[in-house]
Amino acid sequence: MTTARALQMPTGLRVANGAFVAFWLLLAIFPLFWILVMSFKIPVDSFSTNPLQVIFGFETRRTVGGLSFLDLALGIVVLIAAYRLVAQTIGKAAGYLSLGGQVWFGWILASVVYAIGLALVFGWLVPLVFGLVNTIFGVIPLLNALATPVVGLTTEHYRAVWIENEFHEQFLNSAVVTAGVVTISLTVGTLAGYGLARSGGSLAFWLLVVALVFRALPHSVLVSGYLPAFLNSREWLGPLWESGATGWFFGLFSDEPPTLFGKHLPVIIVLVSINQPFTIWMLRSFFQNIPRELDEAARVDGCSHFEAFRRVIIPVMWPGVITTGLFSFLLAYNDFLVTSLLLDAEAQTMVPAIAQFFNRETTATDQVEAIAAAVSITAPLFLLVMIFQKQIVSGLTAGAVKG
């Protein structure tokens, strides 16, 4: 959308605005950039007091090797091209792959295909081609300067984290917990938020306000409340298994009551219960912005209550659902306190695992490995934001009512 000239900001304000955003970006992005740089260097470089040495990794370059100008230039081009290609074609591909069936199925299939494709390109094709190009330029006089390494680079820390330390197990644990939390919060949140927004029952509203207030409790208080119950859950839950009325039902799942401590499910439940009031609140306000006439028109046109919700409300609710989903994701993904206290070693998620890396207090190499692990866990966030950036931009209900 273009802004009318008369409504545009004056130049001074625009410059000030831009400068402020740039400054803020620098503050926010610099630490991320710095640990990214550190994670690719050997410890001597990473912890050097000379910033240039951290960036260019003199020692790393000498002992392991690095990237040449050619690599850097080509790398940027390939990255941008790959992003463009994926962004432009994945929608169509999803359309093809849904094979006339459900669209979401097509999207999942397309994502898998693209992920495999990208992994192949960056894991195999790119190193091969770049190596070849560098060798060719290396033998041409004058141009061989372009092919000599300038920035030191080593991937040994990443290899150590993901292969030797089997970080993928923690990654999977994180994935399970996060997926569980997001799914449950969004399902409960959309239904409850819709109900609250449309019925406006005052009792439910005040319950929600109270729940929101409880969210201000330090999480450690909550956890210490849950902890004994989870540790002794075998005794607590005993009666359910023993009584005649309910025993047969719970017996279907296990022979005797489970110990909840250390399992994923209880952590998911705790995280959801911390987060749910906020999710419901947020979704409720999104729903309230959807004109009532939409449900009403749908119901007159022949939808049941639930059908109206599914066919008419949900399609215009995506921005709200995705934005709220991102918040839930962040909470579950970054949670330290609940996960570190309620999970055993086997079920541990990434964030407490990284904290342990840092606390091992051994060599400098371990520290850099911890940094590499920390950088690794930001990757999914980037992916998510990139995928959903279009949907986060709101405004799907324009044109529905007279307004």
Partner 1 sequence: MAQVTLQGITKRWGAFTGVSNVNLEIADREFMVFLGPSGCGKTTTMRMIAGLEDPTEGEISIGDRVVNALEPKDRDIAMVFQNYGLYPNLTVYENIRFPLKVRRIDPQTHDDRVHRAAEMVELGDLLHRLPRELSGGQRQRVALARAVVRQPTVFLMDEPLSNLDAKLRVSTRAQLKNLQHELQVTTIYVTHDQIEAMTLAHRVVVMNHGKIQQIGTPTAIYDNPANTFVAGFIGSPAMNLLDGELQGGVFKSDNVAIAGLPADRNGPVTLGFRAEDARVVDADGAQIAAPIYSVELLGDATMVTVRTGGSLTSVKAEKDYRAEIGDGVGIGISPDICHLFDKESGQRVSLAA
Kindly identify the residues of this chain, within the stretch 285-324, that bind partner 1 according to CB under 8 A. Answer: 291, 293-294, 296-305, 307, 311-312, 315-316
CB 206 within 8 A of CB 349: no
User: Shortest distance, CB of residue 317 to partner 1, whole angstroms?
Assistant: 10
User: Shortest distance, CB of residue 287 to partner 1, whole angstroms?
Assistant: 14
**Contact between 212 and partner 1 (CB under 8 A)?**
no
User: Shortest distance, CB of residue 174 to partner 1, whole angstroms?
Assistant: 34
Q: Which is nearer to partner 1, 159 or 390 (CB)?
A: 390
Q: Which is nearer to partner 1, 78 or 297 (CB)?
A: 297
Kindly state the DSSP code that residue 161 receives in the 8-state scheme.
I
Q: Which is nearer to partner 1, 224 or 304 (CB)?
A: 304
Q: Which residues pair with 152 in a beta bridge?
A: 66
Q: Apex CA 261: angle with CA 248 and CA 338, to 5°?
A: 130
Q: Which is nearer to partner 1, 188 or 294 (CB)?
A: 294
CB 291 within 8 A of CB 400: yes
Q: Which residues pair with 262 in a beta bridge?
A: 343
Helix H or strand E segment including 66: strand 66-68
Kindly identify the residues of this chain, within the stretch 367-396, that bind partner 1 according to CB under 8 A. Answer: 396
Q: Which is nearer to partner 1, 218 or 403 (CB)?
A: 403
Pure H helices in 232-263: 233-242, 244-251
- Is the sign of the CA dihedral 11, 13, 15, 17 positive or negative? negative
Q: Which residue has the tokens 């890396």?
A: 357
Kindly state the DSSP code that residue 401 receives in the 8-state scheme.
S
User: Shortest distance, CB of residue 308 to partner 1, whole angstroms?
Assistant: 9
CB 262 within 8 A of CB 342: yes
User: Shortest distance, CB of residue 328 to partner 1, whole angstroms?
Assistant: 24
How far is residue 259's CA from residue 10's CA, in Å, rounded to a whole number? Answer: 64
User: Residue 332: which of 381, 391, 283, 403 has the closest Cα?
Assistant: 381
Q: Which is nearer to partner 1, 244 or 302 (CB)?
A: 302
Q: Which is nearer to partner 1, 80 or 300 (CB)?
A: 300
Q: How many residues bind partner 1 (CB under 8 A)?
A: 26
Fill in the per-residue mask, 172 to 201: x = in contact with partner 1 (CB under 8 A), - = not in contact. ------------------------------
User: Shortest distance, CB of residue 178 to partner 1, whole angstroms?
Assistant: 29
Phi then psi dihedrals of residue 282, to 5 deg: -65, -45
User: Residue 180: which of 266, 268, 261, 263 has the closest Cα?
Assistant: 268
Q: Which is nearer to partner 1, 141 or 315 (CB)?
A: 315
Q: Which is nearer to partner 1, 316 or 370 (CB)?
A: 316
Fill in the per-residue mask, 224 to 263: x = in contact with partner 1 (CB under 8 A), - = not in contact. ----------------------------------------
User: Shortest distance, CB of residue 99 to partner 1, whole angstroms?
Assistant: 20
Kindly identify the residues of this chain, within the stretch 256-275, that bind partner 1 according to CB under 8 A. Answer: none
User: Shortest distance, CB of residue 306 to partner 1, whole angstroms?
Assistant: 11
User: Quick one: 181 exposed, middle or buried, by C-beta within 10 A (0-12, 13-18, 19+)?
Assistant: buried
How far is residue 358's CA from residue 379's CA, in Å, rounded to a whole number? Answer: 20
CA distances from 52 to 34, 38, 48, 128 (A): 12, 11, 9, 29
User: Shortest distance, CB of residue 400 to partner 1, whole angstroms?
Assistant: 4
For partner 1, the binding residues (CB under 8 A) are 291, 293-294, 296-305, 307, 311-312, 315-316, 396-403
